[in-house]
Amino acid sequence: MCGICCSVSFSVENFSKDLKEDLLYRLSRRGPDSSKQLVKSSVGYQCLFSGHVLHLRGVLTAQPVEDERGDVFLWNGEVFSGIKFEAGENDTQIMFNYLSSCKNESDILSLFSEVQGPWSFIYYQASSHHLWFGRDFFGRRSLLWHFSDLGRSFCLSSVGAQISGEVNQWQEVPASGIFRIDLKSTSISKSLVLKLYPWKSIPGENVIKECVHSLIQISANLPTFVSVVANEAKLYLKKPVVPLNTMMPQAPLAIPCINIAGVLPTRETLQRLLTDGRMKEVVQQFIDVLSVSVKRRVLCLPRDEKLTPSEALKACDRKANVAILFSGGIDSMVIAALADHHVPLDEPIDLLNVAFRTKEKTVLTGFNKKRKKQKSHCEIPSEESSKNDDDSPDKQFCVPDRVTGRVGLKELQAANPARIWNFVEINVSLEELQELRRTQICHLVQPLDTVLDDSIGCAVWFASRGVGWLVTQDGVRSYQSAAKVVLTGIGADEQLAGYSRHRVRFQTHGMEGLNEEIEMELGRISSRNLGRDDRVIGDHGKEARFPFLDENVVSFLNSLPVWKKADLTLPRGIGEKLILRLAAVELGLTTCALLPKRAMQFGSRIAKMEKNNEKASDKCGRLQVISLEDLSIEKEIEV
């Protein structure tokens, strides 16, 4: 994980040796282990490169990196597969070495077509004056662009620095392919032209038609002085996943003997489905490919290998290197169970469970009554959250995700009693939410601006921060997760028909409509979710990793007909994400396998904190930004 930035100016009066304070501050939070700047100037333009590194693998390599030809590379990514590299090597240097050996455009595109893993990059070729940049196919790493001064300057950055009162400042670079700008030509013509090298899935596909569609979408959001065109050579990147299988069943599906109208689904229901040998085989294949995905994401990080035998035995004193955004729902439970297979046994795993103070005074069903006897430990230690509290903190933070999280914790502990599972209770008051949204989170969620972006962005920011309370056999203590890697279950609902809108589409348009909905969900995940979540989690100097969006996992699921992934003729809590529920049963998980989908904003109760009459798609006024300069003025006034 890194914060990368390139600021380009085409007029001498705009040349600068430093980034603006706001932008530099937010980039440095993403990469706390190394910060470096580099200026490259030529006739008519200047590039200011800024790199901020979170060190996770190989030798710490400061960015930007430069070779003897004057080429410059900024990399925010992880190479998990696709190209040759050794386990102990640094992928920034490996990628730069490969790029340096590329002889033409086609070689560069072949390289990025082969890389498996999340990435965004900026690459400057000094001899040709070309600037290349882009994001991976799913957009798992954030990259924003900002065009200003009628084309006299532009900026690429992992995160933006919004300015109070200005609109449309930063936009996400579309994950439509890789872009190239001829800086020398731009400095002469004063016309900023972006050349697109799009993703293409199969050789027979009409790349021109697909590219034209992408160009129209991208151009609609750009200033009039910026244009996007297809590359003249009609070159493209090869999509890293197979196309979605849209095959329809030849005969109506046989509905298993399940009482849909009356009795709720049970574990026996799922076990009955697993008596089908072909289904059981597909489920095991899914477990295998997802397990490899998790393994890649929990082992590619530095560990302290110099512990003495006595220190190694003290697992309670070991820090967790891996954390999971954990609700106790099926996505996070399966990820936790598979992580348990691969993380060294003497290493704890942090389960990050976030709750927002609820106004409800009744204890939710399933609340662990034994905890009533414990101290009021759920509250985050802060002045705001300790004032005017008449109700028990346990009650105030006993939201649905806390209840299912505790149940899930017990199930994981039963599955592997030798593992230390750190269930981190992260509790957020209204005052803390409003303060940190205003000063930090709004900058990260932007340029997204809906009520849904606000709710999820805030919930993920507090959860991934990992500051809360830990309940152990020795009592309750404050805790802050030191894990640099945060696993999240995003991608499961999109691929496995987990949202209620999937069921609505199926009921109105059948399996064909359901396939279209799944294809659309995966196609727009870069712009709806992943850039935002990368910026939010990265703000803590941590890296988001998405096991369900591994290229091999997506290809496997895309290869299956839809009814093997989800059967929406079955009731809620079993039909959606069916293959994942069956996988949970095979892994020995029981309760979570039957939990219906519950969105994070409702499970954590953040959606109940402020306004209850908003639509998720409404523009959110709470995401108005405040700059560092404005903030310092406010503090001076307060003093």
Residues carrying an active site annotation: 2
Q: In what order do the strands lie in the sheet with 171-172?
A: 34-42, 45-53, 2-9, 153-157, 144-148, 171-172
Taking the CA of residue 362 as centre, how many other CA atoms within 13 Å lie in the half-sphere pointing to its CB? 3
What span, in angstroms and rounded, lies between the C-alpha atoms of 171 and 148?
Answer: 12
What span, in angstroms and rounded, lies between the C-alpha atoms of 134 and 501?
Answer: 31
What span, in angstroms and rounded, lies between the C-alpha atoms of 577 and 491?
Answer: 11
User: What is the DSSP secondary-structure string of 485-508?
Assistant: EEE--TTHHHHTT-SHHHHHHHHH
Tokens for 25?
């501050």
Using CA of residue 284, residue 289, residue 294, residue 296, what is the dihedral sign? Answer: positive
Tokens for 574?
């079993």
**Measured in Å, how far apart are the chain's first and last C-alpha atoms?**
37
Owner of token pair 């996992």: 553
Which has the closest alpha carbon to 332: 478, 489, 202? 489
Strand locations in 126-182 (E): 130-135, 144-148, 153-157, 171-172, 177-182
Please give the distance of CA 617 from its chain centroid, rounded to a whole number. 20
How does DSSP classify residue 606?
G
Count CB atoms within 10 A of the CB of residue 590: 15
Count CB atoms within 10 A of the CB of residue 546: 24
Tokens for 36?
């470096």
Cα three-residue angle 91-323-393, rounded to 5 degrees: 155
Point out which residues pair with 6 in neighbouring strands.
49, 156
Alpha helices, DSSP H only, in 122-221? 183-189, 207-219
C-beta separation of 240 from 112 below 8 A = no
Tokens for 167?
């609109």
What span, in angstroms and rounded, lies between the C-alpha atoms of 563 and 407?
Answer: 30
Give the largest Cα separation in the chain, rounded.
Answer: 76
C-beta separation of 325 from 488 below 8 A = yes
